[in-house]
Structure formats: C-alpha cells, structure tokens
Structure 1
Amino acid sequence: MMNDELKMLDRSKCIEDDNEYAGKLLIIKPSSLKEEYRQPYFQYFYAASGFGCYPDKLGGKVFGKFLADGEECCFRRSDFIGVADKEKLPQWAKTRFEQLTAPKMRIRVFQIDDSLDNNKRMFMSYDNAMKKGGVDSLIYRQVYGGIVNCSDIESVFALCNNDPPPGYCGHSLSVSDVVEIEDGDDPGFYYCDSIGFKKVPFDIEQTDHMEMLHVLIIENGKEPYEAEIRNELKAKQSVVGGLIEPVYFADNNEALIYCDEEFLLKDYAPNRKVGDTIIHGTFMVIGNGMNSHGEMTDFSLTDDQIDDYWEMFRYPLIYMTKEELADNQAEVPDEGISQI
C-alpha cells in the first residue's frame, strides 16, 4: 500500500482535551514525523511522562512510545495535534492501547493431583486443610505460569474461571488451589479458600513442575510473553485454540511455531508474518530437538532463544478492515491487511 493512498489523521480524530497528556494516546502532527514515517499508523503516540505532559510546566518534552511499533522516544508538546478520541480508533489501535495500559501480573497456578490425594484434600477449605497438617506441596502439580492482565488475586480468580489464559491446563480455579504471585507488592503463595485467599508456606521444588515447558506465546495485539505450560497435548492445543500445526521458521530448526491448523477456516485475525506466511490467531514458539532416544520432541526455549524470538515477533501486524480502510483512503484495496 502506497503511503500517499492513506489520509493522515487530523483534529477530527481528537477529543477536546489539551490539558494533561500523561497516560493518554496522542496524535502527532504529520509535519513532526520524518518523511518515511508519515503514515497514520505512526501518528499514534502513547505519552508516559515528561514536563511536556502538563501545560503549566516549564519543560516541553513528552516521553513515550509509538503505538505502531513500541519504539520509545520523545517529542515536544507542540508536536501533537491533541488527545486521540478512543471512539474513533481503528480496532488494531484500540486493542494495542488496551494492552499497553492493562495491568500485568506474573503468576503460577498449582492444583492437587488426584492420584496423590490420599487424604482427600482437594477442594478442602483452608481451616480444614490446617487441621489435616497444612498445605502439602508434595501433592500439587503446576498447571500454568505466565503473565496475565490482572491487578490483584481476585481478578486472577475471575480470569481462571471465565477466560483462562492460553496454555492453562487445569480445572477452573477453586478451593485448595494455590496461586503464586511472582511480582508486585506482596509476592508469595496464596491458598484459595471458600472465601478469599490465605497466604501460605509452599515449596515449589516439591511439586510436579519439572515437565513444564518454557514457551513464548504471541497473541493478537500483544507483545510476546514467556509462559510455562505442561508438556501435554491438551495444554498446547489450549494455546492455539484448536488442533496444533507446526510451522518451521528457524534456520537450524531448533525452534518451531505451533498455530491452529484451521485458523483460516475459523476467521482469526492476522497476527504476525513468518517468512512469506501470515499466521492468524494466537500461536506459540517452542524449542525443538532430539531426545535421548533419537526422537524429535518439544523442549523449553533457552533464555537466549526467548530474547531472540521476543524481538523477532515483537510487533503485531497492523490489520484494518475494509470498512476502516475506506475511512482512511479514497478506494478500498482488495487486501484488507496492511503492515509496517
């Protein structure tokens, strides 16, 4: 798509709000962008900090990042047309802005393994568990680990019951489950009680967690994130939303992608471009190698691989429907996908 086919954003895409800019999505003046970046995609800028965010401060710099590719930089307050009207954002921008501003927590979830539950502690309240000798780490298995868009443990409970994260491989979060909060103000292990949670001592090294695979999950509109999933078909299928299809992309084949083999039939939105292929819907990157029996199998990604593939798949495709493109250019092209 040629740049001059697109109409640049103007004041009509802004709200009447020229006061504080911090934490808001702004629209950059076309004249303030380098010529090669004069596309409407690059006019969206998330303002994070700087004296320029406030009209009564002496300094004029606004620090933040481009919504299109996440590059961090700064502009002067005078470089902006105004604050973007959220009601007039294309869907890709809405999704990316929501993800950029959403709360994030790193968690692990542990559930009792029924085959080890000799004293029938599954779904037992905290008080009754204490009467039985406390929380026994030895009978738990890890069912998930990763970054979720939650602000507290109560929202983790709601998420794992209503819309479990990709790779979650267990029952809905319930009484006797243990949630580890890995970051935040009060990290630790929390026992799910009949009402609320109780912080408890818990030894992850005693749990069944060695079979967890460290993978990179790539969702539409999100930056990639590391997750821990069980080395089970059910867990891998839960990431992609259906039957897994391998896609080889690494030169040495030491990693591969799993996506939903029916992503076109299911009309998933385009996510990332891999070589000449555009993958739709959520997918993951996983290690690939040979086990001690000479068989090709899945492995955890190394830290270096996670860093490399995070950078490789950092930027989602910018996808606009034909209706959205019609609002931004004179004629609607045959292809409803544009990318940077």
Structure 2
Amino acid sequence: MNDKLKMLDRSKCVADDNEYAGKLLIIKTSSLKEEFRQPYFQYFYATSGFGCYPDKLGGKVFGKFLADGEECCFRRSDFMGVADKEKLPQWAKTRIEQFTSPKMRIRVFQIDDCKDKNKRMFMSYENVMKSANVDPEIYHQVYGGVVNCSDIESVFSLCNTECPPGYYGHSMSVSDVVEICDGNDKGFYYCDHIGFQKIDFDISKVERSDMLRVLICETGKEPYEAEIRDELKAKQNVVGGLIEPVYFAEDNNALIYCDEEFLLKGCEPNRNAGVVTIHGTFMVVGNGENEYGEGIEVSLTDEQIKKYSEMFRYPLIYMTNEELADNQVEEQDDGISQV
C-alpha cells in the first residue's frame, strides 16, 4: 500500500448522524498511533458501548478495525463521525458487507443414486413417510461450511443460484436434507415441494468417508472451516478453475490450492502465503501420504484449523488505480526537473 495516501477528513462523513452502533466510523488521525496513520486504518466498525449514543453517560465505543478485524475500543471523541457509504473505496464496501451479512454453518446431504433402491430421490416428505422414515444410510454429504444466509429458505436459494465454494452435488431439490449446525434452529430439515420439514436424522449413518476438512479463504472474507468431497471437481469448484498447489507450511504438512490462472483471469489479491500473493479464492488442506508413500490430501486437524485461521485472518486491501489516484497526496513542486 502506498504510504503517501491522503488521510480521511470530515468530507468522507455524513452529516448529523449521532448514533454509532452498527455503523462504520472514521477515526481522527490524531487518535491513531504514528505507525497506523494510514487511511485504511481510519475505518472502524462500531458494535456497542455507551459512547455510541450521545445522550448516555460513558464515552467508550467498542468495535473492530475494518482493515484487519482487530477488536478494540475508542472514546467517542476519537471519531470524526459516520462514514458516507457513497464515498467508500470498493474494498471497504466489500468488507463492511461481510461484517454485516448473516452467517450460518450448514451441511447438505443428497441421496446417493446407487443406494436408492426404493426410488426416494425427489420424493415428497409425505410420500416418504407413508412407507418409512427418511433413511440416512442412502445419503451422502455434498457440502459443509459457512454461508451468508439468514434462514433455510435463503440457503435453498443460494444452492440453486450461486452454490458456495466446494459444493459438489445437484442444485438443492426435494429429498435433500440440510443441517443447521448452530443457533435456535439447529437440526435437520427435509426439503419438500413447499418449504422444509424438520426431521430426525442420524448423521453417523451417512456416507462421509470421502469428506475433507479444509479452510477456505475467499477474497475480502474471514477464513472459515468447510467440508468438501475428496474429488477433483469439488476442489476445482472451490478455486473456480484448475487447481495449483502452493507449498507454504514450514513442516510441509499442509498446502494451498488456488486457481492456476488467477493472474490471467484478473482475480483480486487475496492473501500472502510466504513470498507468494494468492489471488482469488483458495483453500488450505492437509498434506499427507498413503500406505505406499504417495502424497495425498488429508483433513486439517483442530490445531491446524486454528493456526491457519489466524495466519490468513486478514485479507489484503486492494485499491484500483483510480482509487489510488483519487487518494494520492500531491507532491509540491520544488522547482527541480529532469531532462
């Protein structure tokens, strides 16, 4: 990032917006430590604190920096005001959208055609229940991960339009089972002709032996744990093209898969992995060996998930040439020119 960028001023704020909770604020330059006096560190997403309200005692505003997600607090007097959404650079718009978007951790199961002896695929819940219960033994898992959805209906829409990275199955349809892994709606749901039916579903009986536990890093998003099929097409679906390995771990027990054509496709910079800058969505997977000493992908351990989530926690800040030009500090003409 260029170190001669203009610091943000009040012209980047909206007028007369005094309540700060749930809003993007701009920190005064004087309130930042010298080493952090860059315009991208002036953006601060406020979450709570009495300082968010002008009529309450106490002046603390809690939240996190938009640039790297680090949580901290400032005094209300440290802010110029609320950022004008119309004047945000694209990286900030993308990141604030991720901060505020709903998130759900889910799994998706679909009937394995080879095991479907009674032809239950695409059968309504009513007809399935006439003969027997939903049988988990004929299902296999096609996806597991975090999606930007607020409810199960939006999960259905997502899996029929722009499936999440690593999703390896048909578009969501009748007879599919969705697991909501957290929250008040936690449980298993059968996709019916209209809506979903909550069901009992023993996940231990589902075919899941070919699932890999990986870490997915999308551009502008926080890394998240996912479960994908150990299939080439599933891995290609994560990165959006032909997979290319990047070896970055000191102990060589993990590797990155990215799109080998990310530069040709003009993908935005995502994260640094050692000396390599990865563009576009990538995933981290375990690097192991089979009984014959051949290299294979393996699931990440809990320790690795934690380690690499922290390593790749902060997405890179990418500004277009136009945005850089608009924010560039003009150097004063000292009368010296080159011939």
**Cα distance per residue 1:175-201 (max 9 Å; x no partner):** 000000001112100000000000001
Residue aligned with 1:128, SS: helix
The residue identity in structure 2 corresponding to 1:160 is C
Aligned to 1:142: 141
Unaligned runs of 5+ in 1: 333-340
For residues 253 and 62 of structure 1, the distance between their equivalents in structure 2, rounded to whole angstroms, comes to 43
- How far apart are the structure 1 equivalents of 2:330 and 2:101? 35
Pairwise CA distance, 1:2? 5.1
After superposition, give the CA deviation of every residue in 1:136-178 in whole Å (9 maximum; x if it has no partner). Answer: 1000000000011100000000011111000000000000000
Over the residues paired in the alignment, what is the CA RMSD in angstroms? 1.1
Give the whole-Å Cα distance in 1 for the aligned partners of 2:260 and 2:70. 32
Query: Hey, what's the Cα distance between the residues in 1 that align with 2:99 and 2:262?
Result: 25
Q: What is the distance in 2 between the residues matched to 1:293 and 1:152?
A: 45
SS in 1 for 2:197: strand
Give the ranges of 4+ consecutive aligned residues of structure 1 lying more than 6 Å apart after TM superposition: none
1:115 corresponds to: 114
Supply the distance in 2 between the matched residues of 1:62 and 1:208 (Cα, whole angstroms).
Answer: 48
For 2:128 and 2:172, the matched residues in 1 are separated by 17
AA aligned opposite 1:44: Y
Query: Do structure 1's residue 204 and structure 2's residue 203 form an aligned pair?
Result: yes
The 5 Å alignment of 1:128-277 reads 128-277=127-276
Following superposition, the deviation at residue 227 of structure 1 comes to 0.1
Amino acid at match of 1:60: G
State how far apart, in whole Å, the 1-side matches of 2:257 and 2:10 are. 43
Instruction: Give 5+ residue unaligned stretches, structure 2.
Output: 332-339
Give CA-to-partner distance per residue, 1:246-289, whole Å, 9 cap, x none: 00001111000000001111111110111221111000000001
Distance 1:146 1:51, change over 3 A: same
Q: CA deviation at 1:291?
A: 1.1
Counterpart code for 2:300: L
CA-to-partner distance for each residue in 1:82-121, whole Å, 9 max, x for gaps? Answer: 1011111111111111001110000000000000000000
Mapped to 2, the partners of 1:81 and 1:331 lie a distance apart of 23
- The answer (yes or no) to whether the contact 2:18–2:81 under 8 Å persists in 1 is no
TM-aligned CA deviation for residue 294 of structure 1: 1.5
Partner SS, residue 287 of structure 1 = strand
Instruction: Please give the TM-score of this superposition, normalised by the length of structure 2.
Output: 0.96
Q: Specify the SS of the correspondent of 2:145.
A: strand
- Change in Cα spacing, 1:275 to 1:16, as seen in structure 2 (3 Å) is same
- Percent identity reads 77
Count of residue correspondences: 331
